Structure 1
């Protein structure tokens, strides 16, 4: 895992661990839900984390620098 997205990933896991969704299903299923049973804070962290990971693959973002965390 890249260092620039590691902090976001840890915050997302922390946020998801506090939801009821994780008590019934794995983290991966809860993070990927279309209609979230998670808080809006976790949804925001999820979108930011996915954009951070996408930015690592996009060569334009890699040249300019990753704006993840």
Structure 2
């Protein structure tokens, strides 16, 4: 469990090393994390700082003592890929027989165009 924050820590270290605060202005990463220089960091680094703080706080949080911290999944989100669903269950219309593309029975519903020009469905 103590190693659950090592991946976000490594991502934060990489982000700090590539920031202008370290590369251009030649400050140490520890100095860049303190308030006067912290405002000059890119948004991604600030998000990683906050995430790392929440991860460390989760190590001592008694509500998470059995499950531990959630794994950090940064690769798909940073590359712009969407994982589909945001929750663990399967979708409501997945594999439920021969239905239309929206999961409804085509025999029960008809498509129509509303007054504002948007296509919608309603019961027959």
> Which category of TM-score, normalised to the shorter sequence, fits these structures?
0.7 to 0.9
Runs of 4+ in 1 over 3 A off after TM superposition: none
Q: Where do residues 1-69 of structure 1 align in structure 2 (5 Å cutoff)?
A: 2-23=2-23, 24-33=26-35, 35-69=38-72
Larger RCO of the pair (alpha carbons < 8 Å, separation 6+): 1
Unpaired runs of at least 5, structure 1: none
Distance (Å, rounded) in 2 between the aligned partners of 1:25 and 1:68: 31
**Superposed displacement of residue 63, structure 1:** 2.7
Which protein has the bigger helix share? 1
CA offsets, 1:2-48, max 9 Å, x none? 22100000000000111121243221221233652110011011100
Distance (Å, rounded) in 1 between the aligned partners of 2:34 and 2:69: 23
Distance (Å, rounded) in 2 between the aligned partners of 1:49 and 1:59: 18
Q: Structure 1 length normalisation: TM-score?
A: 0.80
